[in-house]
Amino acid sequence: MKIATTRFGEIEVDDNKIIAMPDGMLGFADKRFVMLNPEKHAPFCWLQSVETPALSFVVIDARRAFSDYQVALTAEESERLALDRQGEIIVLLVVTLSQDPTKITANLQGPVVLNPARLIAKQVVLEGGKFSARQPLFASQQEPAPAANGG
């Protein structure tokens, strides 16, 4: 299908690549996204809404940004993601860009968890002061982020 996007113009996406987010991204109603990962923007990817051309998030695979960071899902969340017991997940961190690269942050408090086998994703909110919603992305080179153990 063809998807209109504000930032990248019209793009062609396989119908079977569409990611369902039944609970949306917090604060946004959109329920269907596609993940785009153009080589030249690696390691960043975009989560682009299929429904709203202007809505897209820059995300980064948590393993690449903060290797110690882990999310433990609740039974309810696993069910929502249609996750099998041994099912693999991909944890994406929403990136807040800035004109000044040293001010770019990643949201460790609200990761997006993707079930790649079923293409269902959910933004999970983690309780606790140890996760920052604004963790500097590049400071992580020196200082590993604390491991996240879920709720």
* Choices 15-23, 80-88, 113-121, 124-132; region in contact with other proteins by CB under 8 A: 124-132
CA-based radius of gyration for the chain: 15
**Residue (10 or 14) nearer to other proteins, CB:** 10
Task: Kindly provide the residue ranges of all beta strands, DSSP E only, lying in 13-134, ordered along the sequence.
Answer: 19-20, 32-36, 44-49, 56-61, 90-96, 105-115, 120-123
How far, CA to CA in Å, does 141 sit from each of 49, 90, 137, 138? 31, 21, 8, 6
C-alpha to C-alpha distance for 100 and 81, rounded to whole angstroms: 35
Applying the rule CB under 8 A, the residues between 4 and 63 that interact with other proteins are 7-8, 25-28, 40-44, 55-58
Q: Which of 97, 116, 117, 143 binds other proteins (CB under 8 A)?
A: 97
Binding site for other proteins (CB under 8 A): 7-8, 25-28, 40-44, 55-58, 72, 74-77, 94-99, 101-102, 104, 107, 109-110, 123-127, 133-134, 138, 141, 150-151
